[in-house]
Structure 1
Amino acid sequence: MSNIDIKSINTVRVLSADGIEKAKSGHPGLPLGSAPIAYELFAHHMKHNPKNPDWANRDRFILSAGHGSMLLYSLFHLFQYGDLSLEDLKQFRQLGSKTPGHPEYGHTVGVEATTGPLGAGMGMAVGMAMAEAHMASVFNEDGFDIVDHYTYVLGGDGCMMEGISSEAFSLAGTLGLSKLIVFYDSNGISIEGSTDIAFTENVVERMKAFGFQTIEVEDGNDIEAIGKAIKEAKADKERPSFIKVNTIIGYGAGKKAGSAASHGEPLGSEALRDLKTGFGFDPDESFKVDDDVYENFKSINEKNKKIEDEWNKLFKEYIDKYPDKAKLWEKYYSDIDESLIETDEFWSWDENKAATRNISGSIINRLKDLYPNLIGGSADLSPSNKTVMNDEGYIKRGDYSGRNIHFGVRELAMTAITNGILLHGGLRAYCATFFVFSDYTKPMARLSALMNIPTIFVFTHDSIGVGEDGPTHEPVEQLAMLRSLPNFNTFRPADAKETVAAWYAALVSKKTPTAIVLTRQNLPQLSGSTKEALKGGYIIKEASKATPDMILIASGSEVSLAVDAADELENEGVATRVVSMPCMDVFEKQSKEYKDKILPNTVRNRVAIEALSGFGWDKYTGLDGRVISMNSFGASAPQDLLFKKFGFTKENVVATAKEVLNQ
């Protein structure tokens, strides 16, 4: 271990502690304990070029323990990622700064994934490693390993306690993702004290059971041992690797070292002085970086630039030798070609009645031929979700060329993995499960929205139409939950044309995830459905006069019910407009003029119909309107009986509309 390595590590530690102290907020424990791990990895083992942080063949690093963000920011400053300055470090956790409390993808250059919920980074790392393996199977040729990089992730005891890490690592071991290397910062401390109060399992044995190579580093300050462990991990070509590094939380911080007191609060002036003095820094100086430290990081950058230059040379030879692969590469890394799905053929559907899940399955199989970089799967429900791409194979150990993914019964990890596939770059990804189990996907769907990545969710069995499976499987509140997410579009289509619109919107989206919520039961194809569904809400059946007496609003399977009720009301002399609302989120983004045209303020007689919770519909029905919705969890019975029991019938819609008219 050279003196400059030691000095560089300690500079990372002190910068991290200074940033947290100035903010009067943060988590110094992890940066102080894990700085040697991160430095050794970034300085001597990772392929990365801060001047080109989006280089396709870079190694990826995710800080799953996102509370230790100052570790990343200190490294990014020293490596000059995005010209992150000392002033930026001084603005840690402040409004509008480049250094928020937890790493945010797309906000700070160099951050590969938004982390905060513990364990989330572990799942996304598995997705990145899966993407690397698949892309390598598509593009690499003899002598041209143009996709050849590792995914590294660092987490702590909390990440290992969270169930998502077990879900994700179980799949990673099953698939033999050998270019995934996990660092476990094992310091035995959590917020409440020693981890022994709630966490006594043998984590290494657990990881062995998952199929990982396991390596242990006894002293977290021994960068030679850390480096040896990384080399050993890379040497295993059959298994992912798990490196347990025994560290001391808050290392160097006087009496606070090794205790929960250094986990989630600034060190305080006394412990900070102890830290600086012990590491040979002036205790009266803050945010100090010596020139020789900057020179060390500069020399590392120069070495890494040469590695990228060598890859660029190889890539040029590759595209000259394999021009067809070069065109395919360009297609993978370009925005979706919208012209491919703007054809009459793509929008057409022949069958009269069909479940929207079946229609979605047909659409997926149209899309797979148009977009070779589409990849996805289901949480062990693909026959029910209709999400299999025919004749495309499955990703499996030793053969990662398939485009279908067996996620297993792991909805939470599935979503994190799908996010990771998207974050890797080059691929468009979807995942699927029953709608009621979207509860399990929610934390990672929230991260999809927060990261501005267009993850696609296919949720089937969308209402009490699930029927005999009963209330445990009948989604009620889930649609309201997803609609409440910022930057998240939730489509519940009524027929084939609206299902096509949902997929179209999902594919062309660049920064917003999309959920497509689909029926199990067959639905009629509605004569009034159009591409206007892309606006989120539109008139699917117009009233018999310019200013309607009544507006019925519905989504999904209830739109055809609304149309039937409108026919009955028209027969009784009530001019009734039907508005299909497949996506409230998109409708809200339309111009005021358009929204007023669809739902004019002059028509206050309104009834909304949806076989789920009515939460949120009042913004369209107003004080004078009514909502026919679910106010319970449902029941176990054939779907027709359930729709009748809970009032989703033509007769009840007509009666409710009359009550509104006569109030």
Structure 2
Amino acid sequence: MAPHTTSAHSATLTSPPPTLSAQDALVLRLAAAARALLDGPAAEEAAQSHSTTELRQLCLIVTALWCRVLRYDPATPDWPDRDRFVVPSQAMLPLLRAMLHLSTPEPDTTTPLDFGLHRAVEIAPGPAGQGIAAAAGMALAEEILAARHGRSLVNHRTWVLARDSDLLTGIALEAAQLAGRFGLNRLAVLVCPAPRTDPADFSDSLARFSASGWSVRRVNARNLPAIMTALAATLRARKPTLLACLSDGPSPHPPMPAEEEQTGPWSPTARRGASARRSWLRRLTRHRARTQFEREQAGLAPPLLSEDWPRLWRHDLRGSSSQHVALAGLRTLQTLRPELAVLAATSGTSGAVYDIPDPHWPCGLQEHGMAGMLSGMALHGGVLACGVAGMITIDRMRPALRMTALMRRRVLYLLTNDGLALSDGGGGWQPVEQLASLRAMPHLAVFRPANAQETFACWQAALLWPEGPALLVLCPHDMPDPTRPEADRAEAARPGPPPP
């Protein structure tokens, strides 16, 4: 379809251009309705964050995405095989609110658009870059579940509505490199430069993502045919995609659509999403792994885990370090809970590689990006996310870990190489104050076992911790393992006395 060219008087059009199809005309009219919503109560909120221009520039492509591509059912916005639409910045929430209003039969104006309260909100707003890393984790979780259960049950995408400042952060660049390395081709980021952004800086950000293995496309944010071509290319891409939405030419302003076209059962997003969910439910009913899939989505443990866990792990509970025993427990857990997904970071001067059986995903020295991805995997659901890294690197993981704790998502961390002995890396690799700072973080469980029996008890407590992430701080040196009765093992996971 040839792109439509507009004249200087395009803002006074009274009907959609005749060269556009009926579906494209509806997208244009809904985009006009979304802009009208942005000019309403959300205008003041957007102006306070200096994002009014960005919201308007992204309005047409986001409307096209919701009307023509996104798998979203307003009646059940949190069904497992929906597309994830990640809005990690408070400044971009007015555009999400407009999309929900246009696609929902009876828009809910009473529930705040906050994480944990509104079912359509995938992530809590946080520091720049955290949303891109979490979205990469969601895309990785989708790949893992699709490999286990097949595309008949897991066949969705992750879309991120980002700001240009997100692209500059270290966590976003680390996560981008990991996403490119893992081939997460179902991940797409939509971004436009802010009015005061230097075009050279924005081009440099795009170049970094391209060098990380991403497909980077520049698209005219005011040209609907060009937008539809870019979205179609994103669906066919074999790499993660970054769509840079640039302004070129005047924006068409077709008339407002009729109310029944904006919302209700006639919304194209609602019709397509409801149909996709019904088809998915029929496939789930007939799927041979339905029981296991539903258990994993609910985050429940297998029925016989409490009996199988000590039986398979008993031979590793004697005469070894807490680090050795904890990694042995990780290997045991992989056999009992196939939904366990392990990301491992190799750090330190020795560059030691942990003895972790496949499948696991090595993240090199990119601990910050790894921690952000673990948070996204927990947000996605269906997997039990676990990260293995050196204790001293917790300072790099802290921002992502804090977001995970604030959202109360379950992630397991095995932090190795703890201890006061001076290693070959020097005093800079000794974790001195990190333990106290971790214990001050809300909703975070910190366990520091001293021997094999305590490691076993702390592993069990970490798996049962319901409030958020759990850390096991592990020592590589052999420790004396006193003989203790089986009944006293539970005491190992109890908190110690408060500091004086």
How many pairs does the alignment contain?
469
In 2: Cα distance, 1:514 partner to 1:338 partner:
22
In the superposition, relative to structure 1, how do residues 35 and 371 fare at CA in structure 2: closer, same or farther (>3 Å)? same
In the superposition, relative to structure 1, how do residues 371 and 289 fare at CA in structure 2: closer, same or farther (>3 Å)? same
Q: What does residue 483 of structure 1 align with?
A: 439
Conserved? CA contact 2:139–2:157, under 8 Å? yes
Q: What does residue 241 of structure 1 align with?
A: 241
Q: What does residue 427 of structure 1 align with?
A: 383
In 1: Cα distance, 2:181 partner to 2:484 partner:
48
CA offsets 1:481-539 (integer angstroms, 9 cap, x no match): 211111111111111222122221222233411011111211111335833346532xx
Conserved? CA contact 1:62–1:113, under 8 Å? yes
In 2: Cα distance, 1:447 partner to 1:126 partner:
15
CA offsets 1:59-79 (integer angstroms, 9 cap, x no match): 111124443112112222332
Matches within 5 A, 1:549-564: none
In the alignment, which of 31, 41, 55 is matched to residue 19 of structure 1? Answer: 41
Matches within 5 A, 1:158-177: 158-177=165-184
Once the two structures are overlaid, the 10-residue window that deviates more, 3-12 or 498-507, is 3-12
Matches within 5 A, 1:61-210: 61-80=85-104, 84-86=107-109, 88=110, 98-100=112-114, 104=115, 106-140=116-150, 145-185=152-192, 187-189=193-195, 193-195=196-198, 199=201, 201-210=203-212
In the superposition, relative to structure 1, how do residues 41 and 534 fare at CA in structure 2: closer, same or farther (>3 Å)? farther
In 2: Cα distance, 1:296 partner to 1:33 partner:
28
What is the TM-score with the length of structure 1 in the denominator?
Answer: 0.65
SS in 1 for 2:263: helix
SS in 2 for 1:109: coil
Conserved? CA contact 1:436–1:474, under 8 Å? yes
**Is 1:503 aligned with 2:459?**
yes
Aligned AA (2:140) = M
In the superposition, relative to structure 1, how do residues 534 and 520 fare at CA in structure 2: closer, same or farther (>3 Å)? closer
Please report how far the alpha carbon of residue 201 of structure 1 lies from its aligned counterpart in structure 2 after TM superposition: 4.5
What is the TM-score with the length of structure 2 in the denominator?
Answer: 0.85
In 1: Cα distance, 2:458 partner to 2:36 partner:
50
In the alignment, which of 274, 290, 314 is matched to residue 326 of structure 1? Answer: 290
**Is 1:341 aligned with 2:306?**
yes
In the superposition, relative to structure 1, how do residues 6 and 316 fare at CA in structure 2: closer, same or farther (>3 Å)? same
Q: Superposition RMSD on alpha carbons, in Å?
A: 3.0
In the superposition, relative to structure 1, how do residues 299 and 455 fare at CA in structure 2: closer, same or farther (>3 Å)? same
In the alignment, which of 331, 336, 340 is matched to residue 365 of structure 1? Answer: 331
Identical amino acids, percent of aligned pairs: 24
SS in 2 for 1:243: strand
SS in 2 for 1:354: coil
In 2: Cα distance, 1:194 partner to 1:179 partner:
28
Aligned AA (1:194) = T
Conserved? CA contact 1:9–1:35, under 8 Å? yes
In 1: Cα distance, 2:262 partner to 2:314 partner:
63
**Is 1:463 aligned with 2:406?**
no
Please report how far the alpha carbon of residue 36 of structure 1 lies from its aligned counterpart in structure 2 after TM superposition: 1.5
In the superposition, relative to structure 1, how do residues 223 and 279 fare at CA in structure 2: closer, same or farther (>3 Å)? closer
In the superposition, relative to structure 1, how do residues 179 and 350 fare at CA in structure 2: closer, same or farther (>3 Å)? closer
Once the two structures are overlaid, the 10-residue window that deviates more, 520-529 or 361-370, is 520-529
In 2: Cα distance, 1:120 partner to 1:7 partner:
33
CA offsets 1:144-168 (integer angstroms, 9 cap, x no match): 6322111111212101111111111
Structure scoring higher RCO (CA < 8 A, sep ≥ 6) equals 2
Please report how far the alpha carbon of residue 180 of structure 1 lies from its aligned counterpart in structure 2 after TM superposition: 1.4
In the superposition, relative to structure 1, how do residues 75 and 370 fare at CA in structure 2: closer, same or farther (>3 Å)? same
Conserved? CA contact 2:322–2:449, under 8 Å? yes
Q: What does residue 643 of structure 1 align with?
A: none
Structure 2 stretches of 5 or more lacking a match? 1-19
Conserved? CA contact 1:385–1:459, under 8 Å? no
Please report how far the alpha carbon of residue 188 of structure 1 lies from its aligned counterpart in structure 2 after TM superposition: 4.1
Matches within 5 A, 1:309-458: 309-317=278-286, 319=287, 323=288, 325-334=289-298, 335-337=300-302, 339-341=304-306, 344-345=310-311, 348=314, 352-381=318-347, 388-390=355-357, 392=358, 403-458=359-414
Matches within 5 A, 1:32-47: 32-47=56-71
